[in-house]
Structure 1
Amino acid sequence: MSFTSEVKKQICDDVLDTSAAKAQLCALLQMRASLHMNWQGMYLSFQTENATIAKHVFQRMKEQYQVDPRLSVLRKMQLKKNNVYRIQVYDKAQTILSDLKILTESGLHFAPPIQYTRSEKNARAYLQGCFLAGGSINDPKTTNYHCEISTHEEQMAQSIQKMMQRFYLPAKTIRRKNAYIVYLKAGDKIADFLKLCNASQALFDFEDSRIQRDFYNNLKRLDNCELANEMKALKAGKKQLDYIYALEQNENKVEISSKIRHVMEIRKKFPEASMNELCEQCYLAYGEIISKSGMKHRLGKIKEMAKPFLEDADA
């Protein structure tokens, strides 16, 4: 089961009171349902490829409106060839849409009814319905965090975005082909959205994966930094050895103090040592206490003294 399917299953298991259940059903129908007319009159059709959601909508309609929906299973003949679950309501179709404020005298509405989204509890339920109908979340183990809700109605997308911002979720909207996508990219905000939807177990799984992933990323970053520092130290050490060998070959032409000679000997013995390690070895070998800045200064002096001889060799 995908991570998105697991989140939707947990949302379907959430226990809601009557007003919140209607708010959730309203979002589901606005996002996925269609209204039809035939010789029997007006009927409502809802379809999904998710069996859990189909069962959930079927039960919600029976509980809230005491109707007997027809459930049929179709087989897609292209691409993944998944099952498509279609729910059709012939009795009370207009009553249901009117009660949910989707259908009024002015026509069909694709915006959250104030009556069902005024309270925070109902607004949460409405967003649950939106996610059930058109939402998805990348598995947190993948390379990036992404949560989105897709709808074909621009007004619906704008309404979802505003409602998410109401809960301090910085959602953005883009158009993708014939759909409008409301999305979140930040891992912590996706976690807040899962919490908002009462998908507790999915939230724990998401946070656990996110913590592990961030830990390994930080560890890898530190390893890379350490490796880069080691490479830098090796490169610097090689150059310092070149300066030292140049001085030794021309020691009759330049005056080298004992302190400089100590550093030259230590560097030759420990070509890969860091500054701190050179200071420590200098103390062990000669009993001389020298700071890191002092060591850097002496190595700089060696470079300054050796540079003329290297330039002569290049010439």
Structure 2
Amino acid sequence: MSFSSEIKKEITLVELDPAQARAQLCAILLDRASLNMNQRGWYLSFQTENAAIAKHVFSLFKVTYAIEPKLSVIRKMNLKKNNIYQIQVHDSATHILEDLTIMRESGLSPVPSYRLIRSEKNARAFLQGIFLASGSINNPKTPNYHLEMSCSSLELAACIEKLMNRFYFPAKRIGRKNLQVVYMKTGDKIADFLRLLGTSNALFEFEDTRIQRDFYNQITRLDNCEVANEMKSIKAGQEQLIWIDTIESEQKTGMLSEKVRRVMEIRKKYPEASVNELCERIQAEYGENITKSGMKHRISKIRELANLLIREKEQSILRKQKKEAVEGSAGSE
């Protein structure tokens, strides 16, 4: 069972008073029901692949209006496809639509009347009905959080968005093919929406998974940061070893102070150590307290001397090559 299906099943178990039942049924009919006509007159038709929702809608009709809807099961021929549960209401269709303020003197309305959803509890029940009809929330284990509810009516989508904003949810609306989609992508707001729906079990699962994922992501970021720092220290250590080797090969260590030469020895012993670790080793082996900035200053002295020796060596090679070229030219004459 998908995460959205678990949420919907839990919504069907939430207790409703008569006013809430009417608000929820109104939402379901506005979003997913159709009004049809046959020889007997007008009838309502609602279809779903979710057995729990079909049972719940059947119960709403039966308890709220004391009728016995017709329930049919359509079996799909495709493999791994759910059955389609169809609920039809024939005799009282017009009365129900009028009671739910869907059918008015001006005709069918795509939105509920304000008095039906004026109270907070009825507005909550209406959003429960919309989610039952077309809502979905992706599994919290997936990379991005996403909640959406869809409908074919622009007016109904605007109404849903307004109701969401009434509960301080930053819902947005977008067109997708022939549908209008109201959606949210903020994890903590989706958790609050689950709380509004009254789905405590789904809320617990969502929050638990979200906390675990955020904790894992934080650990991963810290690990990546540590690896990056370690790689940086290794690269710096290798570069410093080249400077030290240049100074020693030219036998110029005497040009540096004793404190700087200590750093050279420590670096050779601990080629992958960070600056802080070099400070600790200096203190442990020479009893000298040195700050991080002091260590960087001494390393800069090593770098400056090494670069100076490299430049002098390059200039010496250039002078030698120039001299050989002049002598070769004179000999050929």
TM-score using structure 1 length: 0.97
CA drift at 1:279: 0.8
Aligned residues, how many? 315
Given the superposition, is the C-alpha separation of residues 291 and 132 from structure 1 closer, same or farther in structure 2, using an over 3 Å criterion? same
User: Which residue in the other structure is 2:149 paired with?
Assistant: 149
Q: Secondary structure at the match of 1:210?
A: helix
Q: In the aligned structure 2, how far is the partner of 1:238 from the partner of 1:54?
A: 70
| Partner-residue secondary structure (3-state), 2:88 | strand
Matches within 5 A, 1:91-240: 91-240=91-240
Equivalent residue letter for 1:141: K
Work out whether 1:20 is the aligned partner of 2:10: no
Change (3 A) 1:116 1:262: same
Q: Tell me the equivalent position of 2:320.
A: none
SS of the equivalent of 2:91 reads: coil
Q: Which amino acid aligns with 1:284?
A: A
Distance in 1, Cα, partners of 2:171 & 2:121: 20
Larger Rg: 2
1:287 deviation in Å? 1.5
Q: Per-residue deviation at 1:110?
A: 1.4
Evaluate the alpha carbon distance shift between residue 109 and residue 144 of structure 1 in structure 2; reply closer, same or farther with a 3 A threshold: same
**What letter matches 2:100 in structure 1?**
L
CA distance in 2, matches of 1:200, 1:314: 75
User: What 5-or-longer segments of structure 1 have no aligned partner?
Assistant: none
Q: CA shift at 1:109, angstroms?
A: 1.2
Distance across 2 between alignment mates of 1:252 and 1:14: 84
Q: How does 1:254-273 map to 2 (within 5 A)?
A: 255-273=255-273
Structure 2: how far apart are the matches of 1:312 and 1:129? 82
The 2-side partners of 1:96 and 1:159 are apart by: 21
Give distance in 1, aligned partners of 2:35 and 2:252: 100
* Distance change (3 Å), C-alpha of 1:260 and 1:235: same
Q: In structure 2, the residue corresponding to 1:86 is in which secondary structure?
A: strand
| Inter-partner Cα distance in structure 2 for 1:260 and 1:200 | 65
Residue equivalent to 2:31 = 31
AA matched with 1:47: Q
Aligned-partner Cα distance in 1 for 2:73–2:29 = 19
SS at match of 1:42: strand
2:289 aligns to what?
289
Q: Is the 8 A contact 2:12 2:56 kept in 1?
A: yes
Deviations 1:4-31 (A, max 9, x none): 1110011000001110111000000001
Partners of 1:80 and 1:132 in 2: CA distance: 22
Aligned residues of 2:253 and 2:261 also touching (Cα < 8 A): no
- Indicate how the Cα distance of structure 1 residues 136 and 79 shifts in structure 2: closer, same or farther if over 3 A, else same: farther
Unaligned runs of 5+ residues in structure 2 are: 316-333
Asked if 1 retains the 8 angstrom alpha-carbon contact of 2:243 and 2:306, the reply is: yes
Q: Tell me how far 1:157 sits from its aligned partner.
A: 1.0
CA–CA distance in structure 1, aligned partners of residues 179 and 75 of structure 2: 24
Question: C-alpha displacement at 1:254, in angstroms?
Answer: 6.3
Deviates more, 1:70-79 or 1:121-130: 70-79
- Report % sequence identity: 60
Give, as a single letter, the amino acid of the residue that structure 2 aligns with 1:56.
Answer: H
Distance 2:75 2:272 in 1: 68
Find the aligned partners of 2:104 and 2:145 in 1 and give their Cα distance: 39
1:302 matched residue in structure 2: 302
Structure 1 residues 275 and 108, CA gap change in structure 2 (3 angstroms): same
**What is the CA distance between 1:77 and its match in structure 2?**
3.5
The separation in 1 between residues aligned to 2:237 and 2:179, in whole angstroms, is 59
Range with greater deviation from structure 2 (68-77 or 29-38): 68-77
Residue 40 in 1 paired to residue 40 in 2?
Answer: yes
Distance in 1 of aligned mates of 2:302 and 2:248: 11
Q: In structure 2, the residue corresponding to 1:235 is in which secondary structure?
A: helix
**How far apart in 2 are the matches of 1:85 and 1:11?**
18
Pairs within 5 Å for 1:64-103: 64-78=64-78, 80-103=80-103
Q: Alignment partner of 2:5: what SS?
A: helix
How many Å separate the matches in 1 of 2:148 and 2:311?
63
What do residues 205-252 of structure 1 show as CA deviations (whole Å, max 9, x unaligned)? 000000000000000010000000100111111111111111112234
Provide the rounded CA distance (Å) in 1 between the counterparts of 2:311 and 2:48.
Answer: 77
Q: Secondary structure at the match of 2:271?
A: coil
